[in-house]
């Protein structure tokens, strides 16, 4: 149910973005030629191909290491989900995801949708990047809340049915003794208390699973887009910087996603599928860019608008997830609220993660 809701919502959002980007009059009708601002000495198709192949394998390996690291770290007592060290590490990863949205994806969208290759009307007269990012954040909130609400009602119905099935035998026998009534009343309250605890645990687990799926969706969109740009260019100077930066980027971003998948308590098969899906998206984007390198032009109006809108949508989703579902949920939780010292350590971890990823924005 959760998977279908998120996939359906993502499909609708993607369809709307692509539709907007191809409205009549939306594309540039300018006759001027938009050329890439590249250094001709860096253009080497054969060398670029070798670098792209290296990029595919190196990014795949570092992505797998990053997303799988939290799974194996669970065997270390200090890094189990209920421990303080896990929260600090998760805060570091959440800072990375937050910085990815603000410092990497959002600026790229601004640059693309304000390109001189697009007509002034409407692209230079309305802040489409901010608007789409805002709509994306609200849309993510809607999917988040509605999905949780549906499962909450379903869980309460199931638990109410369990309580009713326990009460039915006494009602059929028709006990009227005071002692019997008191015993049944006490049993009902005990069962109700246990069911409330089960419902709370169930809802928390549900939240973790929704967070893991939606977060992976946002990361996947961003990863494919950035991989596409690497695969489509033949600028060796650009590729060299991007490969190194993307390896670190994917590793740390994978750690954040891996922590969320770990808290969702999926079986090993689902964990493996989600980890593999995350790891292959950027290499897939690079391969797709290589296949489309003859037809895909990064400065064409079609490419600028489509990729710019996708980046804006991804930025809104990542920023919402990092601030609301990851940072706010942890910092306002019981464990954090009981310890100011733990909060300060976690804030330092957030700033360290966000700061490190912000520095990487110079190259990727």
Pick the closest to residue 253 from 80, 51, 57, 90 (CA basis). Answer: 90
In this prediction, residue 27 carries a pLDDT of 46
Give the integer Cα–Cα distance in Å for 20 and 15: 9
Pick the closest to residue 308 from 99, 8, 7, 20 (CA basis). Answer: 20
DSSP string, 43-82: B-HHHHHHHHHHHHHHHHHHHHHHHHHHHHHTTSGGGSTT
Pick the closest to residue 70 from 252, 317, 269 (CA basis). Answer: 252
Six token digits for residue 40: 């001709």
- Low-confidence residues in the chain, pLDDT < 50: 1-2, 4-6, 8-9, 12, 15-33, 171-173, 175-176, 178
Give the integer Cα–Cα distance in Å for 118 and 109: 13
Give the integer Cα–Cα distance in Å for 361 and 356: 9
Q: What is the pLDDT of residues 159-189, one digit of tens each?
A: 555 555 555 555 444 544 545 555 555 555 5
Q: What is the pLDDT of residues 218-246, one digit of tens each?
A: 888 888 888 888 888 888 887 887 888 88
What is the maximal distance between C-alpha atoms in the chain? 96
In this prediction, residue 196 carries a pLDDT of 62
Q: Write down the pTM of the prediction.
A: 0.74
């Amino acid at each position: 149910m959760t998977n279908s809701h998120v996939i359906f919502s993502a499909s609708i959002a993607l369809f709307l973005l692509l539709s907007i980007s191809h409205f009549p009059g939306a594309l540039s009708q300018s006759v001027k030629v938009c050329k890439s601002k590249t250094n001709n000495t860096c253009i080497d198709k054969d060398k670029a191909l070798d670098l792209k192949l290296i990029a595919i394998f190196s990014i795949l390996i570092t992505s797998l290491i990053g997303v799988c690291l939290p799974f194996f770290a669970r065997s270390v007592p200090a890094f189990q989900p209920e421990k303080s060290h896990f929260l600090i590490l998760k805060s570091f990863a959440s800072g990375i995801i937050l910085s990815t949205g603000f410092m990497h994806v959002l600026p790229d969208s601004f640059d693309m949708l304000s390109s001189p290759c697009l007509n002034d009307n409407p692209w230079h007269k309305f802040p489409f990047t901010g608007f789409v990012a805002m709509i994306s954040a609200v849309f993510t909130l809607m999917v988040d809340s509605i999905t949780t609400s549906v499962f909450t009602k379903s869980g309460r119905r199931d638990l109410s049915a369990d309580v009713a099935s326990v009460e039915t035998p006494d009602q059929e026998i028709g006990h009227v003794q005071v002692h019997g009534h008191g015993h049944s009343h006490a049993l009902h309250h005990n069962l109700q208390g246990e069911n409330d605890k089960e419902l709370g645990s169930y809802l928390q687990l549900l939240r973790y699973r929704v967070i893991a799926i939606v977060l992976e969706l946002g990361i996947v969109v961003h990863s494919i887009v950035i991989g596409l740009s690497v695969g489509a260019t033949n600028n060796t100077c650009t590729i060299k910087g991007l490969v190194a930066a993307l390896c670190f980027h994917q590793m740390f971003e994978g750690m954040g996603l891996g922590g969320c998948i770990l808290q969702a308590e999926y079986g090993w098969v689902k964990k493996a599928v989600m980890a593999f899906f995350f790891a292959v998206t950027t290499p897939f984007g690079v391969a797709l860019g290589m296949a489309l390198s003859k037809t895909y032009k990064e400065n064409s109006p079609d490419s600028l608008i489509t990729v710019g809108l996708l980046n804006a949508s991804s930025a809104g989703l990542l920023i919402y997830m990092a601030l609301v579902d990851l940072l706010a949920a942890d910092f306002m939780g019981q464990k954090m609220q009981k310890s100011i010292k733990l909060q300060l350590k976690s804030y330092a971890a957030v700033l360290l993660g966000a700061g490190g990823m912000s520095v990487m924005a110079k190259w990727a």
